[in-house]
Amino acid sequence: MRNLLNFLIKYSSWSVFIILTVLCLFLIYKDNSYQRYVFLTSANGLSASVYKTTSNVTGYFNLREINDDLNERQAALETELVSLRKSLETAKELLGADSIKLPSLSGYKFITAHVINNSINRPNNYITIEKGSADGIEPQMGVIDRNGIVGIVDVVSDHAARVISLLNSDFKLSCKVKNTSHFGALIWDGKSPEYAILSEMPSHVRFVRGDTVVTSGYSAVFPPDIPVGIIDNGWRDPDGNFSSLKIKVFTDFSTLSTVKVISSPLRKELKQLEEQNSDE
Amino acid sequence: MAKTVLNIIVTFLILLILQVTVFSHICLFNVAVPFVFLYAILRLPMSLAPSWVMIIGFFSGLFIDIFTDTPGMNALASTILSALRRPVLKMYVNRDDDITSDAPSAKSLGGFTYAKYAFTLILAYCLVLFIIEASSFTGFSLTMMRIVFSTILSFALVLGIDSITGERQNDKKTPSL
């Protein structure tokens, strides 16, 4: 024992080096279930407050662009509203007012939050937002902005939360081509923050460049038909059974400022079901 | 002595805050990320025990990690940088008394030796960091470009910080950058 202590003291710098290295490797290679280690993520109190302070300044930088986007979106929504009203009226005339049940987003709640930290140039990008469990945000909630989908909530503290960005190798989401039932998995290939890959699409179907891709709604994370992007390019996978599509995403991750976190009415039920399944 | 310690602490605080709020968000041409906080580790006095240097390096790296959500990566890179400080300096300086004197600087080592010292360590840091960070889809060429250009950019900034702080201490010339 004494020899061991002497040895450690004699080579103290080596032992410190080894201990620190092992600690780092542990942090790097531990599995992803570190919900318990909120303090080791950008959602912890200190970094959240630092980022909040800086975003008070940087938040003004892209306002002009964002404003333009919002105006466009508002115009598009107004047009849609008019056409929907029209079709509702015709539908009412055809069927009688009481028999229509419109599929709707009722029950979904949107929580608006400001982005206080964001990166786009790493292989695994995360976003930090300034709302947390105190505002009703929970892990596994979907996040969108005015243009399209942004990511999925990952770690939550009281007043901040970390979002797995679409630009993250851990991100995977079921999406489909609008007005068809062909769906695949949306992933990011790490190359450009403007493009994502829709993989596992059936290879016998021909897709047209410029078609819109939307969420499929096959989970409680995102409601169906949230816009994702448009098809830019496509190719057949080497094994021949599936094809992949290169998607130009609508969301501009470099100017992300205000996002909406989606709380689905089905969340609780689905969670219960999943827990039951994992218990059995 | 107390002044030196205070100086070091202030340097660390300023550089770490600057790193997480400004420099970590910069990625020039999608390849070059500046790491200015390394300057604080490079300038730690040589009389400080290697273990302490490594512990300081580890925690500064961990601080960056927490803010950028890269658990352990910067911590490992800066621990290795801290561990390599002494061997690298020994490689470039022949006389031992030069090493043990005080904080490595262009004045105590000579400009060229100091530049070599800083460049080698920053290169080591970027090598470790980007090789760990490279996942399956970051190609080899992109990783290499990131290593090379981040090293050059960080090196330039470290020399820049050096010229600002160095001049202010020695004579009252306005810093020329």
Per residue in A8-21, pLDDT (tens digit) is 777 778 888 888 88
- Within 8 A of B150 by CB-CB distance, chain A residues are none
CATH number of the domain that B132 lies in? 1.10.1760
Written as one letter, the residue type at B39 is Y
Q: Which residues, 6 or more positions from A77, have their beta carbon under 8 angstroms from its beta carbon? A: none
Residue B173 distance to chain A (closest CA, Å): 32
CA distance A213 to A190: 19
Residue B177 in any domain: the answer is no
What is the domain extent for residue B81?
2-165
Q: What is the pLDDT of residues A168-217, one digit of tens each?
A: 888 888 898 888 888 889 998 888 888 999 888 887 888 888 888 888 88
Residue A22 in any domain: the answer is no
* Tokens found for residue A149: 């989908």
CA distance A243 to A184: 10
pLDDT at A140 over 90: no
Residue A277 distance to chain B (closest CA, Å): 31
CA distance A77 to A147: 12
- Within 8 A of A46 by CB-CB distance, chain B residues are 66
pLDDT at B175 over 80: no
CA distance A173 to A185: 5
Mean pLDDT of A134-150: 87
Is A8 in CB contact (< 8 Å) with chain B?
A: no
CATH number of the domain that A230 lies in? 2.40.10.350
Interface of B with A (CB under 8 A): 17, 20-21, 24-25, 27, 30, 33, 49-51, 54-55, 58, 61, 65-73, 75-76, 79-80, 83, 132-138
pLDDT band at A222; cut points 50, 70, 90: confident
Is A28 in CB contact (< 8 Å) with chain B?
A: yes
pTM over 0.90: no
CA distance A175 to A218: 9
CA distance B84 to B121: 7
CA distance B34 to B152: 9
- Within 8 A of A189 by CB-CB distance, chain B residues are 137
Q: What is the pLDDT of residue A33?
A: 52
Residue A16 distance to chain B (closest CA, Å): 6
Residue B51 in any domain: the answer is yes
- Within 8 A of B80 by CB-CB distance, chain A residues are 21
CA-closest candidate to residue A249, choices A193, A171, A177, A211: A193
Are A128 and A52 spatial neighbours (Cβ–Cβ below 8 Å)?
A: no
- How does DSSP classify residue A205? S
Residue A6 in any domain: the answer is no
How far the first Cα of chain B sits from its last, in Å, is 30
Q: Could you give the 3-state DSSP secondary structure of residue A272?
A: helix
Which range has the worst mean pLDDT, A194-198, A237-241, A248-252? A237-241
Q: What is the pLDDT of residues B36-84, one digit of tens each?
A: 899 889 888 888 888 888 999 999 998 998 888 888 888 999 999 998 9
- How does DSSP classify residue A68? H
Any idea which residue has 């889809």 for tokens?
A: B137
Chain B residue with minimum CA distance to A9: B51
CA distance A263 to A268: 10
CA distance B50 to A17: 9
Q: Could you give the 3-state DSSP secondary structure of residue A168?
A: strand
Residue A114 in any domain: the answer is yes
User: Under an 8 A CB cutoff, do B66 and A47 touch?
Assistant: yes
Chain B residue with minimum CA distance to A192: B30
What is the domain extent for residue A231?
32-68+101-265
Mean pLDDT of B143-152: 89
C-alpha B5 chain-centroid distance: 18
Written as one letter, the residue type at B110 is G
Q: What is the pLDDT of residue B176?
A: 44
The number of distinct structural domains making up chain B is: 1
Residue A4 distance to chain B (closest CA, Å): 18
Q: For testing the chain A interface, which of B29, B59, B69, B153 should be mutated: the one with the most A CBs within 10 Å?
A: B69
* pLDDT averaged over every residue in chain A: 81
The number of distinct structural domains making up chain A is: 1
Q: What is the pLDDT of residue A99?
A: 47
Nearest to A123 among B25, B51, B135 (CB): B135
Q: What is the pLDDT of residue B169?
A: 47
Residue A90 in any domain: the answer is no
Residue B77 in any domain: the answer is yes
User: Under an 8 A CB cutoff, do B138 and A44 touch?
Assistant: no
Residue A212 in any domain: the answer is yes
H/E stretch holding A103 reads none
Is A13 in CB contact (< 8 Å) with chain B?
A: yes
Q: What is the pLDDT of residues B99-113, one digit of tens each?
A: 555 778 777 777 788
CA-closest candidate to residue A51, choices A144, A134, A118: A118
CA angle (A3, A5, A11) in 5-degree steps? 100
CA distance A244 to A184: 9
User: Under an 8 A CB cutoff, do A16 and B54 touch?
Assistant: yes
% of chain B residues with pLDDT over 70 = 86
Residue B153 in any domain: the answer is yes
Is A62 in CB contact (< 8 Å) with chain B?
A: no
User: Under an 8 A CB cutoff, do B66 and A123 touch?
Assistant: no
Are A100 and A92 spatial neighbours (Cβ–Cβ below 8 Å)?
A: yes
Written as one letter, the residue type at A219 is S
Residue B91 in any domain: the answer is yes
**Count of pairs with CB atoms under 8 A, one residue in A, one in B:** 99
- Within 8 A of A13 by CB-CB distance, chain B residues are 49-51, 54, 83
Residue B79 in any domain: the answer is yes
Residue A147 in any domain: the answer is yes
Residue B170 in any domain: the answer is no
* Beta strand A173-177 pairing with A212-215: antiparallel
